[in-house]
Structure 1
Amino acid sequence: MSLDELKADVAELTKLLEEAQRARVKGILTQAKAEAEREIVNLEMKARIAAERLAAGTNGGDAKRYLHELTDYGWDQSAKFVKLFITLNGVQNCSEDDVVINYTETSMQLHVRDLNGKDYGLTVNNLLHPIDIEKSYRKLKTDMVAIYLKKADEGQNWDVLTAIQKRLKQKQDSDLAKDGENPENALVNIMKKMYNDGDSKTKQMIAKAWTESQEKARSGGNPGNFGDL
């Protein structure tokens, strides 16, 4: 899909979000908008990389490098900063000019050039709160890029990293509240939320409990009713 078409999609999704009333519809539209915005950023990044290579007169071998989109990172916060940690083996050997970050008040975009013959990118849009662009920075550590996003409002707590995650969390909490009068439905939704949000060990434990409950149901015992996780 072209950049113009994606931008048109985002504009229309924004209008639909303003008109939407139901929480489920808002959640679907929010996810679709976030996906379209991510594709826009990726296309713009690829275009910029191609332009940089052309301007630098890179040879055919360099032109074969592709952009690998990063999705895994950790984050933490202090009173002054939101900190992102991206693991990349050998990144400490890159030159300072090959690890570039572009900031806006509500987004950040990392681009690592020619790390072991590959380019890497990470984009985080719709930050939960504004950041101070001038005071944000990054550090190269052993096998890691550490990004420090300066909070525009020092001391403000970020319970999630992005506004999209905030909306999805609110929707999940709302769905749980609706099932509050039905203990079985509430338990199933809580287990689903724990599974979706949990680490690999938590998911293994929940999957094991669900499997055992199904085996009990087939044998005529009490299944424990975990539902369809």
Structure 2
Amino acid sequence: MSLEQLKADVAECVALLEQAKSARVKGALTQAKAEAEREIINLEIKARLAAERKAGAETKRYLHELTDYGWDQSPKFIKLFITLPGVQNCAEEAVTVNYTEHSLQLHVSDLNGKDFGLSVNNLLYGIDVEKSYRKLKTDMVAIYLKKVDEGQNWDVLTSIQKRLKQKQDSELSKDSDNPEGALVNIMKKMYNSGDSKTKQLIAKAWTESQDKARFGPETGGLGNLGDL
């Protein structure tokens, strides 16, 4: 689908949302709008990369997908911290973040001859796109997501993490005599039903949990599920 058509779809969703009264209809329209916005962002990133290649970059650059980051929160903001050595030397326009109400996409262009990208989808609650921003720090990109509801506590970062936690609590309550086995079953179900990115992140979390069992709690655990 073309960029123009996707933008037209977003505009139509916005217009219909203003008229919708049913919560179910509003939810469907909001989801359709978010999906169209994500497609727009992906097309824009691809177009920018294509333009850079066409301009005759001397070295072909590949997009390196980032999965590791830290996050914290204040009453007003969710804060993400992405470590990238030397990123403070990039031009301001080389580090962009595109936001939707429930997602963000970071793109870093030509950092030591490489491009980097990070996508975090299905944020637990809505963010204010206009008031969200990023800062370049020494060896780090800090992203500040403005909470729509100030003071609201996010116990996890994404809705998928929330569902996983709920499944975990439910399974553990059913099998209180064997909590480790119940947790293994949860991870298997999530892995088998997930997409490739979800499988990658669950595998990473599982490996870290095994390290934790062998070497102690400081090595990590199943709570670290990247941008799930």
- TM-score in terms of structure 2 length: 0.63
Partner of 1:49: 48
Question: Does 1:207 find its partner at 2:214?
Answer: yes
Partner of 2:102: 106
1:40-65 deviation digits (Å, cap 9, x = unpaired) = 799646523333326xx521424x11
1:113-143 deviation digits (Å, cap 9, x = unpaired) = 0000000000101110000111111110000
After TM superposition, where is structure 1 displaced by more than 4 Å over at least 4 residues in a row?
39-43, 190-193, 196-200
Partner of 2:112: 116
The 8 Å contact of residues 191 and 206 in structure 1, kept in 2 or not, is answered as no
Aligned counterpart in structure 2 of residue 186 of structure 1, from 172, 176, 179: 179
Alignment of 1:1-229 (within 5 A): 44=43, 47-53=46-52, 57-62=54-59, 64-180=60-176, 183=177, 185-189=178-182, 203-207=210-214
The 8 Å contact of residues 46 and 67 in structure 1, kept in 2 or not, is answered as no
In angstroms, what is the RMSD of aligned CA positions?
3.5
Secondary structure of the residue aligned to 2:145 is strand
Structure 1 residues 189 and 164 mapped into 2: Cα distance closer, same or farther (>3 Å)? Answer: same
Deviation at 1:203, TM superposition (A): 3.9
Structure 2 CA distance, aligned partners of 1:149 and 1:95?
22
Structure 2: gaps (5+ residues) = 1-37, 187-203, 217-228
Structure 1 CA distance, aligned partners of 2:52 and 2:180?
54
Partner of 2:200: none
1:154-213 deviation digits (Å, cap 9, x = unpaired) = 000101111111111111111111113xx2x135446999xx86995x74351369xxxx
Greater Rg, structure 1 or structure 2? Answer: 1
Deviation at 1:73, TM superposition (A): 0.4
Task: Kindly tell me the number of residue pairs found equivalent between the two proteins.
Answer: 168
Q: Percent identity, aligned pairs only?
A: 60
Structure 1 residues 205 and 138 mapped into 2: Cα distance closer, same or farther (>3 Å)? Answer: closer
Structure 1 residues 42 and 173 mapped into 2: Cα distance closer, same or farther (>3 Å)? Answer: farther
